[in-house]
Structure 1
Amino acid sequence: MRLRKKYITITALLLANFVLITSEGVSFALENALAKATETSGLETGRLFRDMRIIEVPRIAPPVEISLLDLHEKQVTLADFKGKIVFLNFWTTWCPECRIEMPLMEKLHKRFQGEDFAMVAVNLREPATRVKDFFDKHKLTFTALLDSKGKISSRFGIRAVPTTFILDKEGGIIGKVFGSREWDSQKSFALFEHLISFHP
């Protein structure tokens, strides 16, 4: 009986070690697969940024927390969009490139409406009535904020419009664009679909 118990104990120990080794192997394999997936996702992000001529930057916090009024006189902050990829655009109604770009931005906004994506356009130093008239005329439905004193744009270092920042779901800046882009293109859709699906 003692001999049998001894064999049972040895067998149990061997099985326990096997399970431990196997579980560690599975855990290592999962960690390795996750690391490779993250690396692949990062490489894909870089490629898609280059396709759209977006400057990819090491993730940094915005230079200042945005807290501005929208066209409905509601206070809006960047924190309101946490958990979403944010398209943050600085613009004016008199800027020729902005006037061309805005309808293209609306198409991008409509394409990802209802998903983890937010489009925010910060107007520089113009009256709310002028911005509202522009939005109504061009049937724009994304969020417009009013930087009436230019403090926010100054802290972001805006020297020309349009300038756009791409923010990740935690609110960190990951991309920057000087000038307009074809935001309604398939390359643009592919980029934001990737960011929404894979970027933290």
Structure 2
Amino acid sequence: MMAAQPLLTLLLLVLLVGCEAESPLLRIGTAAPAFTLNRLDGVTSHFPEQYANQVVAIRFWADWCPSCRSEMTALEPVYRQYHDRGLVILAVNVLQPAETVRPFVTQLGISYDVLLDTQGEVTRQYQVMALPVTYIIDRKGIIRTRILGESTPEVFTKEITGLL
């Protein structure tokens, strides 16, 4: 049954994206779509207003994604190094309940915010079709980079340092 979960989630992602045929394409250099999601700790996050004048990496992930796990762990030291300079990482979990997400995040020991997209609305808004994917948003709320697949700390650092 466990092997069916990734396939089911991928199918849901494809269906969710397919339902939004009229949504505009996200492009580098355009404003990042606004959203409101609950964090894993129960606090509501409002993007972009809550993160004004910060560089925000919006990462989409799920616990069944092997490269999501390794990337989340690898980016933790980068987050700690640059957080005081204005880096925020919003790790948006795709279509999983808090009961699944909480032990996974606890095991990884990450300190950046984890958001729950249990209905897939933000995933659809950001046109996510595979995991992981990361959008890097500058201090003015403009999409500057999209990283498809697993990012290394070196690539991630290179993309954010010019924006900090």
Q: How does 1:1-200 map to 2 (within 5 A)?
A: 58-62=28-32, 64-78=33-47, 79-183=49-153, 185=154, 188-196=156-164
Letter in 2 for 1:75: T
Deviations 1:123-170 (A, max 9, x none): 001011221111110111100000000011011111000011010101
Instruction: Write the distance in 1 (CA, Å) between the matches of 2:35 and 2:63.
Output: 20
Residues 58-79 of structure 1: CA distance to partner in whole angstroms, max 9, x if unpaired?
A: 41012x3110000111110112
Equivalent-residue separation in structure 2 for 1:122 and 1:166 (angstroms) = 13
Q: TM-score, normalised by structure 1?
A: 0.65
Three-state SS of the structure 2 residue aligned to 1:123 is: strand
Normalising by structure 2, report the TM-score.
Answer: 0.78
Percent identity over the alignment is 25
**What's the offset of the Cα at 1:188?**
3.8
Q: Counterparts of 2:103 and 2:64 in 1: how far apart (Å)?
A: 13
Structure 2 distance, partners of 1:175, 1:190, is 11
CA shift, 1:189, in A, is 3.0
Distance 1:58 1:181 in 2: 18
CA RMSD between the two structures: 1.4
Structure with greater helix share of residues: 1
Q: In the aligned structure 2, how far is the partner of 1:191 from the partner of 1:157?
A: 21
Structure 1: unaligned runs, 5 residues or longer: 1-56
Report the CA distance between 1:190 and its aligned residue.
Answer: 4.2
Partners of 1:111 and 1:191 in 2: how far apart? 14
What amino acid sits opposite 2:145 in the alignment? G
Structure 2 residue runs of 5 or longer lacking an equivalent are 1-26
Is the CA contact 1:135–1:141 (under 8 Å) kept in the aligned structure 2?
no
Query: How far, CA to CA, are the matches of 1:190 and 1:130 in structure 2?
Result: 32
Q: For residue 144 of structure 1, give the secondary structure of its aligned residue in structure 2.
A: strand
SS in 2 for 1:157: coil
Distance change in 2, residues 1:96/1:88 (3 Å): same
SS at 1:88 equivalent: strand
> Distance in 1 between the 2:120 and 2:55 partners?
24
Aligned residues: 137
Query: Residues 71 and 150 of structure 2 are in contact (CA less than 8 Å); yes or no, is this contact kept in structure 1?
Result: yes
